Amino acid sequence: MIQSGVHTWLAVLALLPAACFGGRAEACDEATLKGAYGMSITGTRPAPLVLPAFPGVPPGTIEQVIGVFVQIFDGGGSISHTENVTVKGSLSGLFPDQPGTGTYTVNRDCTGSFTVNLPQLPVPLVNRMVVLRGGKEFRSVVVSPQTIMISVVGIRIN
């Protein structure tokens, strides 16, 4: 009786990786993310120091931020943004057309990171991500700079 239960658990443990990966235990790499991804961001960040609509906003004031844009992964570790980037802050307003470039890595376990350089920021944005559904989408969070708390959803559009 005990031996039968042990065999059942061993069978379940043996099948678990395939169940978690939709029937296949495929490894990821940079080629898993290739093509254009529709991106949606939401979170908070420090408001810009110069806000014409809100004079006297103290440095360090946090604002909510949302945005949509297309980010292109080349399948080999490089990123680019299209010209049609739209980000809106609750205090700073609309910031359209902010293209950027960067690099990314994807680990075998489908985790990874990407760094984006935007001309209007003095430091790069570093993200940690999880690649889902064979590279059809991913989720990420900005981990640096520390004061930016933004989550990202990316879904492949081609």
What is the Cα–Cα distance from 72 to 78, expressed in whole angstroms? 8
In a domain, 89, yes or no: yes
Q: Residue 89's domain spans which residues?
A: 28-156
pLDDT per position as a tens digit, 95-143: 777 788 999 999 999 999 999 998 878 899 999 999 999 999 999 999 9
Closest alpha carbon to 145 in 126, 158, 128, 131? 126
- Cβ atoms within 10 Å of 112's Cβ, excluding its own: 22
**CATH number of the domain that 81 lies in?**
2.40.128.120
What is the Cα–Cα distance from 155 to 59, expressed in whole angstroms? 35
Q: Is 29 exposed, middle or buried (0-12, 13-18, 19+ CB in 10 A)?
A: middle
pTM for the structure as a whole = 0.78
What is the Cα–Cα distance from 67 to 129, expressed in whole angstroms? 18
- What are the tokens at 135? 């590279």
pLDDT per position as a tens digit, 63-86: 999 999 999 999 999 999 876 678
Instruction: Please report, for the chain, how many H helices and E strands are present, in that order.
Output: 1, 10
In a domain, 106, yes or no: yes
pLDDT per position as a tens digit, 19-64: 444 445 579 999 999 999 999 999 999 887 655 556 667 777 899 9
Domain count, the chain: 1
